Structures are given as structure tokens and as C-alpha cells.
Amino acid sequence: MKWRGGYAGAILHVDLTTRTYHTEPLPEELTTRFLGGAGINAALALKLLQPGADPFAPDNCAIFGLGPLVGTMVPGAGKGNLTTRSPYGRFLGISGHGRFGALKYAGYDHLVVTGRAERPTVISVADDRVSFLDATELWGQDVFETTDKIWAQLGDRTDVTCIGPAGENRVYDAALITNKYAAFARAGMGAVLGSKNCKAIAVYGTGGVRVADRKRFLKASRSLFDLLRSDRNLLEWRRLGTLISLETFAEMGLYAKKNFQSAYDGGLLESFGVEEFAGQIKEGDVACMGCPVGCKHHVRVPGADGSEIRMAVSCMNAVMQSFGTFCALESWPEVVRCADQAARMGLDFMSTGSLISFAMELYQRELLTPEDTDGLHLEWGDGEVIREMIRRIATRQGFGERLAQGLERAAQQLGPKTAPYAMQTKGLGVLYDPRVRLGSTEIFSQFTNVRGYISNVSVAMVERTPEQIRRYCEKIGLDPETIGRIVSADGYDVGRLNKWTEDVCSAMELLGVCMFPPFQRLPLELWAEACSAATGIETRADDLLRVAENLWHARRTYNIREGAEAVDDTCPERFFSESVPAGSKSFEPLSKPAFQGLVRSYYAERGWNEVTGEPPAAVLRELGLLEAAQRP
């Protein structure tokens, strides 16, 4: 097919074993069923990844993908997706960020990296030239040093995505970090690249992205810009980023303390004030590719040794939770110092914070002693100890080795008494406490989605009336019968609602657009109009929801094929057995039967088997996935 616009029209395959590459035309049937980016990645993963194979074997593929709007002038259209066989076994490895779009300018919608290089290697993609650069001298260097050295060699207009020592050592929570701040985090993305001896991927593109109907596209883009500019919270989003809701969330009790033993209330703001952050810690805005919002931050704090730390941070809310509230470390400068250490080592912030808070609780309960931890005293709120643990996890040194395979395996190694304190689902640390607010789809979906926590931002994060949820459902175009299943006179079914908020987020994800509220508040129909104008393929809002649905069928099919079961869609037992105090409030444990009922509602709304969560064979046949769905 000759693509009229939006798509570059090509998949670049790179084999590190043979140091060869080739391109393949983007198959039209994949765009019809899965639109692009994360959707086509999921379909390729089912086809290319052998069932039950070793995630660190050379034949694993790291599949990068960009949706049809990436690289166009549509606001926020810079999001890329990485899909791979994760070290977390039967759960598909998926991750995304907003700084991989240069691949589109180089002429590709997708990049598939396979094989294993004999020596440490940098893959360099510069338009249609692919080269394999020796990275022997970069091996062992941290993410910041590596990025600077590649920029010195290839120029700082090249986007550098690299691993640090954690990825080299195949640490399960290793990330892959672009331009020092945008992380393909969680699910061991960095470990997979490390297993391939791939230190970095450097991308430079000089081409543009064509659009099929220029006039129509400009009109749609202008409408999106105008609506975005009229958002009264836009400047606050730029100033505070994901901290915009910090005060509200703190008052709600959403910030877990000491590995979910308790929760902070509004008192948290005495240590983590938003004005203190904006006035004393933040020194500038950072944006993803093509984003006029720029909700990320340049920050500056004194280093522990008197030096100065300056870095860019994508999600400050996650940094504050991971190294701050989870570990009871209550100071902006201290958590930034921890983030600097983790970014240099190439570790995912959230997962690493979960691991260290788990170890600290074991220490508190005397399930670990200094003898087990090589003499480290894992006391709550000790920034020095947290930074030392980050270093030891990344290098698998001493006790760090015990934590290097993620929470679930760490608990298996440390003994059955430790398992109740591993606050994980599908191996990944939980971010928000469902005892505090199960009615949020962002919180509920931590347990039902295919990977463990994935951002599923929706209106339901804070308390909503049934009427407000009904209006949301109408806004995204749901019919009265569907709304009737979700909303009743006295409440709503978060399991069923979750299906639809996931689909809305994924529709944006497939286009390659940011799913944060300033963008999600814009009408889906207008995003569909931009897609139609860019690609020349008529697309409506319900088409976007349909391809999003297909994405979840494909992802779930992968997990089922690899042995995942309904029993994996659950909470840590602590949430069913203990209440959680948050200042003067206390939240009751969840009812397990009620929670399981919500999971079944979610499956039913997706059209999956209510008991097993399996997508029906007829749907898989229609999507061309039936053969790839077969178990070994």
C-alpha cells in the first residue's frame, strides 16, 4: 500500500547477532486491526516471540512502535511504545514515553531489535543508514556518562536511549532511558537490552511526516490547540506536572507510607509542599516531543557530598512516592538525590522504591538483620541507605543480588515469612492503595491489566457521583445500554468502567498522543478527525475505541498463552486483611468476594470469559491472532 500520510510505512528489523538489518513494508491489515504504535507492537509480539521462551535469549525482540500522529504538529503527539518478552515471565512487557519519535523522522513506524551482539554495541539509526558501533568502553558507565559520550560522538541532535549498569546486569527493574530522563520503565526493559549486549540505540532523522489532507489536518490541529489552550489548568500542569493533584491526593490518604502499613494525610505537605517544589527545587520545564504543555521538570538540589545535582525528571509524583512516602524519606532534596542515583544506574524509580520499602519493612520486623544486609541498617527515612541500596541492586552486589530479580522472586528467595510484605501484582510494585479508593479505575486497573500498574488516568481518580460518571460515559460515546451496565442510581461498577477508561487511554496511546488529562479532556472525535486527515483513512471515535479494544484482546492473549491466569488479577493479601490508618482516618480492608466480583465484571465488559478472562476464539480469529494464541 502507498501510505498517504501519518505512517512512515516501514518496519526496521535489526539483528544484533548478524549485525544486519532490513526493512519491511508496514502491513496494511495490521493498521486496520490495531491502528499503530502499541497496537501493532502487541500483534508483532504475538507473532515474533516464541511461546515460553527465555526473555534473555537472543531471539527475544524489543519492539518499538510509533502511532500515526507521532511526529506531526498535533499537540502531544510524541508518544512511543516498547513491547517485549519481559523477565516478569508470563506478563507482556510494555512501556512508553514521549521521546522516541525521531525514529519516525528517520522513516520508520517500528523498530524490531533481535539477536545478541558479540560485544557491547550501540545501534545507530540515521535516516536510512544503520550502523553498529563498538560500545566496549561504554560498558559499565552510567546512563548520564553514556549519553554524553554518544552525543559527543554523534552530535546532540541524536536521541540516545541507553541502559546503565542495572540493564547490563539484567536487573529485572532496569529501565531504558532516553536523553537522560524519558524512561521505558517497568517490566525489565533495560534488562532485555542488556541481555542483547545493546548499550544504546541512537536515532537521528531528518525527514518529516506527510499528511494526506493538509488543509483538513491544519484545521483539526488548530482546533486541538485552541481547546488545549483554553484549559484553565494548563499553566498549573506546566508548573507542577503530576504534582498538580498532590494536595488533593494527600488529603484523600492516597500516599502509602512504609510499604502500605499506613498512609499519609494532608500532613505530608509539610515535607512535600508544592510551592516549595516549584520555588526551590524546580528550575525549568521539560516537554516530550511535540508537547506544548511541558509537564516535566529540570530540578536542582545540593548533592549529599556538597556537589550540585541537576537533572530532568519525568514524573515527580512517582519520584516522591517511590523514594519518599514508600520509604518514609520526607524531603524534596533527598528524594531527588535518590532519583539521580537510580537514573544514573538505569533503574526504574517506582519498582526500585517498592523493593527498598519492602526490604525496610522486613528489617523493621526483624525478618532481615544487618548480617543479611551486609551490615546495612535499613532504617526508614535514611536517604544514604536508600542510595546505597540502589547502587547494590543495580550492580547485584551483596544483598542487592537478592532484590535484583524483582519483588516476587526476592520474597521467594528470602523465605515464605517475607511474602506477605511484597506489595506486588504480577511481580511489579503497587503504586496506589485500593483500600483508600477502589472506585478509581487507575487504582483498580493495577490488578487487572496485563502488566501491573499502568497509568489509566480517568475522571474517577477522585470521588465522583453516579451522575458524573454517567456524563463521562456519554461524553465518550457509550450507548444507553452500556451506560446502564456501568452506572446505577447509587453507584457505579468500577470493573466495567475500567474497561472503557482503559480503551480511551489506549486510543490515545495507539495514535501516539499523550493520555494525560489536558489531552484526554479534548473530544475523542477530534483526535479521530486529526487521524483521518493525517492518514487519509476515515476514522471515527468509535473506530478508535474498537482498535483499543483489539489491543487489549491481543495483550491478554499473549499473557494467557504464556500461562497467566485469572488468579494473577488480584491484590496483595494485606489489602484484604488489614485496615490502613491515614492520620485521623482509617480505611477498612477490602472484601475479597466483592473484589473478585469486580474483576469478573471487568472480564465480562471486555467480552472475555468471566471466570478465566480468556478472549473468545471467534474474536481472535477475526483479529488474525488465533494461530499465535496457541500454547506450546
Cβ nearer to ligand SF4, comparing 159 with 265 = 159
181 touches ligand SF4 by CB under 6 A? no
* Residue showing cell 485552541: 226
Coil, strand or helix: which one is 387? helix
Considering only the stretches 276-284, 294-302, 383-391, 547-555, report the one whose residues sit in contact with ligand SF4 under the rule CB under 6 A. Answer: 294-302
CA–CA separation, 283 and 310 (whole Å): 9
Contacting range for ligand SF4; rule: CB under 6 A; set: 157-165, 227-235, 289-297, 441-449? 289-297
Q: What is the C-alpha to C-alpha distance for residues 260 and 424, in angstroms, rounded to an integer?
A: 11
Strand order in the sheet with 20-25: 20-25, 10-15, 110-114, 62-66, 80-85, 92-97
Select the span of 26-34, 291-299, 366-374, 497-505 touching ligand SF4 (CB under 6 A). Answer: 291-299
Q: Which of 294, 333, 466, 583 binds ligand SF4 (CB under 6 A)?
A: 294
- From the list 165, 7, 195, the residue with the least C-alpha distance to 93 is 195
- Cβ-based nearer residue to ligand SF4, 98 or 165: 98
Which of 30-38, 286-294, 346-354, 610-618 is the region at the interface with ligand SF4 (rule: CB under 6 A)? 286-294
Please, which residue, 269 or 287, has the CB nearer to ligand SF4? 287
Nearer to ligand SF4, 171 or 530 (CB): 530
Q: How many helices and strands, by DSSP H and E, does the chain display?
A: 26, 23
Which residue's CB is nearer to ligand SF4, number 74 or number 198? 74
Q: Which is nearer to ligand SF4, 245 or 482 (CB)?
A: 245
- In angstroms, rounded to a whole number, what is the distance separating the alpha carbons of residues 98 and 509? 11
Among 464, 627, 433, 631, smallest CA distance to 43 is for 627
SS3 content of the chain, % helix, strand, coil (to 5): 45, 15, 40
Q: Which three cell numbers stand for residue 154?
A: 554523534
Rounded least distance, CB 318 to ligand SF4, Å: 12
Least distance from C-beta 230 to ligand SF4, angstroms? 16
Number of neighbours of residue 604 by Cβ within 10 angstroms? 17
Q: What is the full DSSP assignment across 100-126?
A: -THHHHTT-SEEEEES--SS-EEEEEE
Distance of CA 120 to the CA centre of its chain: 26
Q: Tell me the C-alpha distance between 413 and 416, whole Å.
A: 8
Residue type, 629: A
98 near ligand SF4, judged by CB under 6 A: yes
Alpha helices in 299-374 (DSSP H): 316-319, 332-345, 349-364
**Binding status of residue 224 toward ligand SF4 by CB under 6 A:** no
Contact with ligand SF4 (CB under 6 A) among 291, 301, 623, 625? 291
CA atoms within 13 A on the CB side of 562: 29
From the CB of 445, what's the least distance to ligand SF4, in Å? 19
Closest CB to ligand SF4 among 282 and 296? 296
Backbone φ and ψ of 311, nearest 5°: -155, 165
- The reply on whether position 184 binds ligand SF4 by CB under 6 A is no
Which helix (H) or strand (E) segment holds residue 604: the answer is helix 592-606
Of 99 and 257, CB closest to ligand SF4: 99
**Least distance from ligand SF4 to the Cβ atom of residue 362, Å:** 35
How far is the first Cα of the chain from the last one, in angstroms, to the nearest whole number?
A: 34
Amino acid at 231: D
For residue 74, which of 291, 287, 231 has the smallest C-alpha distance?
A: 291
162 binds ligand SF4 (CB under 6 A): no
Query: Which one-letter amino acid corresponds to residue 379?
Result: E
Binding mask 461-490 for ligand SF4 (x = CB under 6 A): ------------------------------
CB of 294 to ligand SF4, least distance (A): 5
313 binding ligand SF4? (CB under 6 A): no
561 binds ligand SF4 (CB under 6 A): no
When asked if residue 459 is in the footprint of ligand SF4 (CB under 6 A), the reply is no
70 binds ligand SF4, rule: CB under 6 A: no
- What is the length of the chain? 632
Q: Which of 196, 199, 257, 296 binds ligand SF4 (CB under 6 A)?
A: 296
d(CA 501, CA 232): 23
Q: How far is the CB of 73 from ligand SF4 (least distance, A)?
A: 14
Nearer to ligand SF4, 290 or 495 (CB): 290
55 sits near ligand SF4 (criterion: CB under 6 A) = no
Of 291 and 423, which CB lies nearer to ligand SF4 in the complex structure?
291
- The DSSP H or E segment spanning 487 is strand 487-488
122, 200 contact by CB (below 8 A): yes
Residue 564 as a binder of ligand SF4 (CB under 6 A): the answer is: no
Choices 48-56, 285-293, 477-485, 593-601 (CB under 6 A): range interacting with ligand SF4 = 285-293
Q: Report helix angle 37-48 to 541-561, nearest 10.
A: 30
Number of residues that bind ligand SF4 (CB under 6 A): 11
293 contributes a contact to ligand SF4 by CB under 6 A: yes
CB of 159 to ligand SF4, least distance (A): 15
Q: Is 244 in the site for ligand SF4 (CB under 6 A)?
A: no
Closest CA to 492 of 606, 602, 610: 602
Query: Which residue number, 466 or 517, has a Cβ lying nearer to ligand SF4?
Result: 517
The least CB distance from residue 518 to ligand SF4, in Å, is 6
The span from the CA of 557 to the CA of 608, in Å, is 10
CB 91 within 8 A of CB 560: no
Told to check if 69 binds ligand SF4 by CB under 6 A, we report no
Cell of 459: 475522571
Which listed residue (287, 309, 526, 604) binds ligand SF4 by CB under 6 A?
A: 287
Binding of ligand SF4 at residue 123 (CB under 6 A)? Answer: no
Query: Considering only residues 166, 198, 202, 295, which one is a binding residue for ligand SF4 as defined by CB under 6 A?
Result: 295
Q: Which is nearer to ligand SF4, 113 or 461 (CB)?
A: 461
Record the cell numbers describing residue 522, joined without a space.
479534548
Q: Is 288 in the site for ligand SF4 (CB under 6 A)?
A: yes
Closest CA to 61 of 2, 1, 131, 110: 110
Part of the chain binding ligand SF4 (CB under 6 A), chosen from 22-30, 288-296, 324-332, 378-386: 288-296
Q: Which of residues 491-520 bind ligand SF4 (CB under 6 A)?
A: 514, 516
Q: Which of 37, 65, 67, 76 binds ligand SF4 (CB under 6 A)?
A: 76
**Residue 531 CB partners (closer than 8 Å, separation 6+):** 6, 68, 69, 511, 537, 539, 544
In the complex, what is the shortest distance from the CB of residue 387 to ligand SF4, in angstroms, rounded to a whole number?
A: 26
Binding site for ligand SF4 (CB under 6 A): 76, 98, 287-288, 291, 293-296, 514, 516
